């Protein structure tokens, strides 16, 4: 492929990438819940967004290498509470990772 053709292809991708990044700004949030943030029995932790969503109409997902089931409670535009099925003080959770996507088409 000639250098000019590659430059044209790169420009097309750059032209496409800019509108995509602008259209999704503020619609996705993610972060980490450190293991020390979980407390109580069953273990739970709160997530508070630095910048709230405009609505509580978002879909959160949780991932961890812990052998536990995770649930979501008290979902608001400002954040949510992660609950687990761990009911023993002898069990712990390593870090948990979350991502939230505002519901809609982007």
Sketch the domain layout of the chain as residue ranges.
27-102
Contact (Cβ atoms closer than 8 angstroms) between residue 26 and residue 51: yes
CATH dotted code for 27-102? 2.60.40.2080
By DSSP bridging, strand 58-64 and strand 44-48 are unpaired
pTM of the model: 0.74
Question: Residue 17 above 60 pLDDT?
Answer: no
pLDDT classification of 26: cutoffs 50, 70, 90: confident
Q: What is the pLDDT of residues 66-102, one digit of tens each?
A: 889 999 999 999 999 999 999 988 888 889 999 999 9
Sheet strand arrangement including 70-76: 44-48, 79-84, 70-76
Q: How far apart are CA 42 and CA 1, in angstroms?
A: 60
Find, among 59, 63, 30, the residue nearest to 47 by Cα.
30
């Amino acid at each position: 492929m000639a250098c000019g053709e590659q430059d044209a292809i790169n420009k097309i991708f750059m032209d496409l990438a800019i509108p995509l990044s602008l259209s999704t700004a503020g619609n996705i949030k993610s972060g980490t819940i450190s293991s020390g943030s979980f407390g109580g029995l069953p273990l739970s932790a709160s997530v508070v967004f630095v910048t709230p969503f405009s609505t509580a109409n978002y879909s959160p997902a949780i991932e961890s290498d812990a052998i536990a089931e995770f649930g979501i409670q008290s979902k608001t535009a400002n954040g949510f509470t992660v609950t687990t099925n761990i009911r023993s003080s002898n069990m712990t959770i390593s870090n948990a990772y979350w991502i939230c996507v505002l519901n809609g088409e982007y």
